[in-house]
Amino acid sequence: MSVEGWNTVLVLGGIRSGKSEFAESLVADAPTVRYVATAAAADPEDTEWATRLAAHRARRPGSWTTEETADDPRRLADVLASAGPNETMLVDDLGGWVTVLLDPAHQPADDVATITELADAVRASEARIVLVSPEVGLSLVPTTPLGRAFADALGAANRAVADACDAVALVVAGQPVWLKPSAPVPPVDVPARAVPVDGVDGVAPAAATLPADGPLPEVLTPTVPPAPPTATGTTWTTSTMALPVIATGLVIQPGMELPMPDEYAGPQAVQRLGTLDLPGAGLGVLERVVEFAAATQGTSTPTPWTDVRVLLLHGDHTGGVAAGAPVGESTRLARQARAGRGTLARLAAENGAGLQVVDAPPAAPIEHGPALDADTVESALRYGWRLAEEAAEAGVRLLVLGACGAGAEAAAAAVLVATAGAEAPTVLGRVHTADGEIDDAAWMVRCATIRDALHRTRRSPRGAKDILAELGGGDVAVACGVLLGATARRVPVLLDGPVGLAAGMVARDLAGQARHWCLLVDHGGHPAVRLAADVLGLTPLLDLRLDLGEGANALAALPLLRSVLALAGSLPVHPYHGGPDDEPTDTTPTDTTPTGDAATAPADGDVAATTAPTAPAPGLARTDLPADSDAAPAAAGAGADDVTPEFAEPTPAGPGPTTTAPADAGPEPDPSGRRAG
């Protein structure tokens, strides 16, 4: 379903408005659909009406079943009331139902009572129901009694059913406008925060909420050391996308149409790099940073990211995936980050970035059952979307995803195994003890846990939300919502570690555009990150193999990325490509011939001096050079004819013009082959 928090939807629209196609798209993700046809059988001679009905039948997938209620319009209420909670029904449409209801064959009857019965059945049904109905009342009042009776009855039916439904949409020219609800999504109770147990530094899930409209976690601004001043840049040229999920009640579902980065700005930025005054081969592989920033900013001259926010997701996983994880370590790291201490907070301060610690719902052991229930998955996705939405509203231009939950790496590996068809041992990273030693026993337990979880879910659906519920857990679900919300608001995201890449794999199945807004700085040597990056087409920029914690690795490399963008935006065009020339424009020769004892020119091209010292008297050694210097004259006891003086007396300028040698050239050689002396 495409409506969040509600089971019943009424889709209104005029003739040929696209209301039926839109209603069918709302149930496209359901495995089976009961299609309830209300129209009466067509007149055999009415070929145009028969063509319309055939077009409707042709659009229905083979997995759908069709049920007709034209023989008895009162049966529609019974069909809806008897539907089970696992069924999805599409009723098309109420206009045909009212036509049959007003048919003389079904009169006399209490039309008002029948409409009330239908509305009560919709309100009480446990099934997922989408009803289609033509909107009336936007034109003139019909001139015939039968036309007025139809308009009145259909108008009454639309009002009653709209009041009974959880959501109402009006389709105009193929564009849906949500009329109901006017209030945001109600909060869903989910466990969200890990708390100490009986004073021990352990964790246990506590009941909490991820509210749809409540306050989000505090955004911290670490100040040790003080953040460096940030350069001002140009304003963003691309507008952000309106938020369909929060404002209208639409659910996060497969096939979402989210914006893509600018397909022209990136290549234009790379082409522009080739014209800049860069020495050597230029920026190398870091040209991809410029291309990514240009595409996501919508300009060929991108600016460095100045407003950065780090989202640290803290959600613990219980069971075998957390084997070998020190008890209470994830809680300590989250508490440390909130206090502005530790590696992540220090790096955030160095980069002038905000830090937001987010408590995600804890996950149950995946070897025994689902990690989360379906409602918690929906709530976590919306919560992540809201985090990205709030960041965009606050002017954040770059998000960095981090995670610190116990067992998060193994849970992310399980998601990758399910989505990419990999084997657990090939994507599961090493387990290290608190002393830094490799714990092979814990690694084997994690492998066995992932194997058992996949065996348990071998017949389960492999949809994006199914994987989050069965294997992913709260941190992966929140991260997935962040990626989707950031994509909708055109905010790029730095991925850094297994949780972020696992969320990227799931987000790809919900909205394929999300991966184009992600940048992977370093794979950290983690096998799961390597494989997920390959599947998503995210080539790591660096090969530093940093292991500072998910999120901290990206922050460590962020200054380099900013420097690259600063160079790309500030360097001039090379003179060869028409840029400014740094050579002086005044080419008039100037007489710079030395004329005094304090300005003698060097007699040897190997020795250069801005101000030449006074030449020594013949037969005397230089006293202003070290005794062991190669330039010191060995003239002690020797005559002037035996030693070539290191510095010659200046030659007086004779009559006529004097030629000045270039500044970077040595003295002009004597045609006779002898040095001047």
Residues serving a catalytic function are 550
Supply the DSSP symbol for 516. Answer: G
Q: Report how far apart, in Å, the C-alpha atoms of 565 and of each of 27, 120, 210, 271 are.
A: 45, 61, 37, 15
Neighbouring residues of 487: CB distance < 8 A, sequence distance ≥ 6: 258, 259, 507, 511, 513, 514, 517
CB burial of residue 241 (10 Å; 0-12, 13-18, 19+): middle
In the chain, % helix, strand, coil (3-state, to 5) comes to 35, 15, 50
CB atoms within 10 A of CB 53: 14
Read off the tokens for 449.
Answer: 């846990």
Q: Can you tell me the distance from the alpha carbon of 669 to that of 209, in angstroms, rounded to the nearest whole number? A: 89
Read off the tokens for 544.
Answer: 């530093």
Q: Can you tell me the distance from the alpha carbon of 9 to that of 132, in angstroms, rounded to the nearest whole number? A: 9
**Vertex 375, ends 370 and 379: CA angle to 5°?**
115
Q: Can you tell me the distance from the alpha carbon of 593 to that of 613, in angstroms, rounded to the nearest whole number? A: 16
Q: Can you tell me the distance from the alpha carbon of 367 to that of 175, in angstroms, rounded to the nearest whole number? A: 45
Q: Can you tell me the distance from the alpha carbon of 5 to that of 578, in angstroms, rounded to the nearest whole number? A: 60
Q: Can you tell me the distance from the alpha carbon of 419 to that of 527, in angstroms, rounded to the nearest whole number? A: 15
DSSP for 310-374, written as a single string: EEEEE--B-SGGGTTPPTTHHHHHHHHHHTT-HHHHHHHHHTT-EEEEEEPPPB--TTTS-SS-H
